Structure 1
Amino acid sequence: MLIGDVARRSGVSTRMLRHYDALGLVRPTGRTVGGYREYSADDVRRIFHVESLRSLGLSLKQIERALQDPAFTPSALVGDLIRWTEDRLERERELLERLRAVDASAPAGWQDVLRVVALLRGLDSASAARRQQAVLTQPEGVPVPVEVLAGAVLAESDPHVAGALRWALARSGSDGVAALAAGVHARDAGVRRRAVLAVTAMSEAPGATALLTDALGDPDPTVRGHAALALGRRGVTATVPALVGMVVEGSHDVDAAEVLGTLSRDPRCADRITAALTDELAAPTADSATRIRLTQALVELPGTTAREVLRRLAHDDDPAVALVASAFLTVLDERSPRDRGDEDA
């Protein structure tokens, strides 16, 4: 079969068939008396084999390897194709995200586009210092795509870069809170921690309270803690169980105790907090260190009820707890006359 006939029947151009011949991929078995290429039935089958592999995305060099290497198995070929396709899709996904980020910034001109591209490249740097610089060197008053900042916040592990990103995101306004919503509900606990920490920096923005309230029920104690501290400082009494739990666990217990003290200024909440701390003190699972932290938390509470509990603890069977309670009672008794003097003045 001459080259023209093969081209018509296979759909492969004569130019490509000559290229295959030059590369050694498909060489015609014979030649006519006039020197024209003459393809056998096996040659035509090989052409279809090559075209099939090309349709899968293989390069001509990869096809040559597949056809010539006896050890090259179909499973290895499929495995390579899967990896190449995954890499290509990942590169295209990254390109799509970059394009969306540029589009979200509503660029008015090429300078805006170049600025966003420079930010994206800076955030992709392997150097934490360069990532931080990319955030902090953005011109004042020039909007930064919220989606870009939110995505970077959720992915950033370096604490200094993360702090700069949270600062930049907080300046973006309420849109930043909405952009973090997916992170607050992510499967990965690390992502949820970074998301909630960023939301706490914008706790006054619309939507922040709802996200932080959702985070109070998070299975991760760090996520719950960030949310409880932020909401507690805003006077949300639903945080009391989580804050008491932080004192028991020793996780940011000093901060938690201070917030409990602030919430206790509301008489309707004071007795509830005192009762919760007292219950934990009496829990059979509470060891000495836990009971000392609970005792210290009681010191932050105003009113006589907490003082009475401290007086009982000054005679506790645990010498360490009794010593701490006695020391705090002495400090409180010395402080009281001054407080009364300030009130009289």
Structure 2
Amino acid sequence: MLIGDVARRSGVSARMLRHYDSLGLVRPTGRTEAGYREYSSEDIRRIFHIEILRSLGLSLREVGRALDDPGFTPSELVDDLIRQTRERIAAETELLTRLRRIGAAEPANWEDVLQIVALLQALGAESAGKRQRAALSSVEEAPMPVEALVEAALSETDPNVAGALRWALAQSGDGGLALLAEGLGSPAAEVRKRAVQSIAEIPNPEATTLLQDALTNPDIVVRRYAALALGTRGVADAIPTLIDMIVEGANDADAADALSALASDPALADRIATTLIGCLASGTMESSARRRLTQALADIPGTTASRALADLSHDQDRGVALTATYVLKLRNAR
């Protein structure tokens, strides 16, 4: 069969067949009297084998080894092809993500595109300073795709950069809340923590709703951060978690401050005081926990808290009695 016929039947161009010949991959078995290449059925079978191996990503050199080296074992090469393919897919996925983010920012011209790309690259820089500047620039200079900000906020380990990213997200409105909500369900504890911290800094009703839902999150760290944020927003649902934090000594000073903020609402002050008093009456509570609860009463306004402190100043636990006496003097001096 002449080269033209082979090209038509195999789908491999005559030019490529000549290239295979020059490399020694497929040498025609014979020649016609006029000197034209003549391929046998075995030659054509080899051409199909070459095309199959090329479709797997093998180079022509690797194809030659696979077909001609009796000691060639494919397993190692296949493993290498798998690795290369995964790397290529990862690179293409990263490119697709970057393009989507650029598109989401709705650039008006190529200058905008270049600026967005520069910010995205800076956001992934090794230097914490560069990442922080990129986060700040996303608000002050050019809009950063919110998906990129959320991804960065959920993965950032440097506290200064993380703070800048949370601030940038807060300025961007509620566009990232859905993605942050997904972060609350992440299998990684650190991601869940960063997600709730970011939500806590977004001052809108949708964020408040997410924080209220987070009070039932299986992760106690998420529940505590949510309660602290809700306390400053005047959401009474946070009271039980805040009191538990005081009892357990987990960020208890901030929890007491959040209770105090809630107690500025007269409708909640007596409720908080009554709940604290009920905890203090527990006979199984450790002395240190009772002292913390007594301290928390200091900033709860109203006669209920004042009467409780007066009673506690005579408590059998000397530490509790001294604490109650001290905070009662501070209340009376105000």
Fold-level match, TM-score > 0.5? yes
Structure 2: gaps of 5 or more residues: none
For residues 75 and 272 of structure 2, the distance between their equivalents in structure 1, rounded to whole angstroms, comes to 65
Describe the shift of the 1:285–1:67 C-alpha distance in structure 2 as closer, same or farther (beyond 3 A): farther
Are 2:315 and 2:321, in contact at CA under 8 Å, matched by a contact in 1? no
SS in 1 for 2:126: coil
Give matches, 1:8-87, under 5 Å.
8-31=8-31, 35-68=35-68, 72-87=72-87
Alignment correspondent of 2:262: 263
Describe the shift of the 1:249–1:331 C-alpha distance in structure 2 as closer, same or farther (beyond 3 A): closer
Counterpart code for 1:63: V
Q: 1:336 Cα deviation (Å)?
A: 4.0
Structure 1: gaps of 5 or more residues: 340-345
Give matches, 1:1-345, under 5 Å.
1-31=1-31, 35-68=35-68, 72-138=72-138, 140=140, 142-178=142-178, 180-203=180-203, 205-281=204-280, 286-310=285-309, 322-339=317-334
For residues 169 and 71 of structure 1, the distance between their equivalents in structure 2, rounded to whole angstroms, comes to 59
Counterpart code for 1:49: H
Counterpart code for 1:51: E
For residues 330 and 289 of structure 1, the distance between their equivalents in structure 2, rounded to whole angstroms, comes to 16
SS in 2 for 1:54: helix
SS in 1 for 2:140: coil
Q: CA RMSD in A?
A: 3.0
Q: 1:136 Cα deviation (Å)?
A: 2.9
Q: 1:132 Cα deviation (Å)?
A: 1.5
CA deviations 1:203-239 (Å, max 9, x no partner) are: 2x24111111121111112211221111111110001
Are 1:264 and 1:302, in contact at CA under 8 Å, matched by a contact in 2? yes
SS in 2 for 1:175: coil
Describe the shift of the 1:71–1:210 C-alpha distance in structure 2 as closer, same or farther (beyond 3 A): farther
Q: How many residues align?
A: 334
Describe the shift of the 1:139–1:233 C-alpha distance in structure 2 as closer, same or farther (beyond 3 A): closer
For residues 108 and 40 of structure 1, the distance between their equivalents in structure 2, rounded to whole angstroms, comes to 60
Are 2:310 and 2:328, in contact at CA under 8 Å, matched by a contact in 1? no
Q: 1:197 Cα deviation (Å)?
A: 1.1
For residues 95 and 164 of structure 1, the distance between their equivalents in structure 2, rounded to whole angstroms, comes to 25
Q: 1:268 Cα deviation (Å)?
A: 4.0
Q: 1:307 Cα deviation (Å)?
A: 4.5
Are 2:146 and 2:172, in contact at CA under 8 Å, matched by a contact in 1? yes
| TM-score between both structures, scaled by the size of structure 1 | 0.83
| TM-score between both structures, scaled by the size of structure 2 | 0.85
Counterpart code for 2:107: P
